[in-house]
Amino acid sequence: MTTKPLLLIDVDGPLNPYAARPQRRPAGYTTHRMRPTGWTGAESAKPLRVWLNPGHGAELLALADAYELVWATTWKDEANDWIGPHLGLPRLPFIDWPQMHGRAPRGTFWKTQYVLEYAQGRPFAWVDDDITPMDREYVDQRHPARALLLRIDERVGLLREDFARLADWAE
């Protein structure tokens, strides 16, 4: 039996296009106000604004036949409480980052080294808004299995074409 590849999912950027113009919610998205533990503005009266597209849940669930879905977000397990329910997702495993926002090898994004540790040689696709060519090179040189690093525009979020690319890659 072959193990499915991992689909590592970041929240802010891919699912929450936080960098879209603040006065205009992106089409298809709903606005949610949240106070996750990591929200630095938690002391203030204003909760975090999160835009989510309910259709993304169905798209991700459709990919669950081909992938093992995993949160790869600074929300960690809180994505299961704050994000997943709005998208109709079950509780998902998550990467419990040993250190967040720390130093990274060779100019890579801080998550990249931990993504490889989590994958443990398994094939994976990773959607994140902070992926760079340095991350792709690092993964190509150090990861023995196939990997797709899909950078998502944080102003737009995941698009239908991104889901299609993920489905094609899994085949």
Is residue 147 assigned to a domain? yes
Is residue 94 assigned to a domain? yes
- Write down the pLDDT at residue 38: 65
Q: How would residue 100 be classed by pLDDT, with cut points 50, 70 and 90?
A: confident
- Write down the pLDDT at residue 101: 82
- Write down the pLDDT at residue 43: 56
Is residue 24 assigned to a domain? no
Q: What is the pLDDT of residues 16-65, one digit of tens each?
A: 999 998 777 788 999 999 988 866 654 566 788 999 999 999 999 999 99
Is residue 42 assigned to a domain? no
CATH code where residue 142 lies: 3.40.50
Q: Which residues pair with 30 in a beta bridge?
A: 52
| CA separation for the pair 29, 151 (Å, rounded) | 20
- The arrangement of strands across the sheet holding 6-9 comes to 68-71, 6-9, 124-128, 147-151
Check: pTM over 0.95? Answer yes or no: no
Residues 111-115, mean pLDDT to the nearest whole number: 96
Q: Which residue has the higher pLDDT, 78 or 24?
A: 78
- Write down the pLDDT at residue 45: 63
How many domains in the chain?
1
- Write down the pLDDT at residue 1: 44
Residues 77-93, mean pLDDT to the nearest whole number: 97
Is residue 41 assigned to a domain? no
- Write down the pLDDT at residue 106: 80
Is residue 38 assigned to a domain? no
Q: How would residue 107 be classed by pLDDT, with cut points 50, 70 and 90?
A: confident
| CA separation for the pair 45, 42 (Å, rounded) | 7
Residue span of the structural domain in which 140 resides: 6-19+53-170
Q: What is the pLDDT of residues 123-159, one digit of tens each?
A: 999 999 999 999 999 999 999 999 999 999 999 999 9
Is residue 86 assigned to a domain? yes
- Reply yes or no on whether the pLDDT at 75 is more than 90: yes
- Write down the pLDDT at residue 2: 59
Q: H helices of the chain, where?
A: 55-63, 78-82, 84-87, 112-119, 133-142, 160-170
Give me the half-sphere count of Cα atoms (radius 13 Å) on the Cβ side of residue 114: 20
Is residue 46 assigned to a domain? no
| CA separation for the pair 127, 150 (Å, rounded) | 5
Q: Which residues pair with 32 in a beta bridge?
A: 50
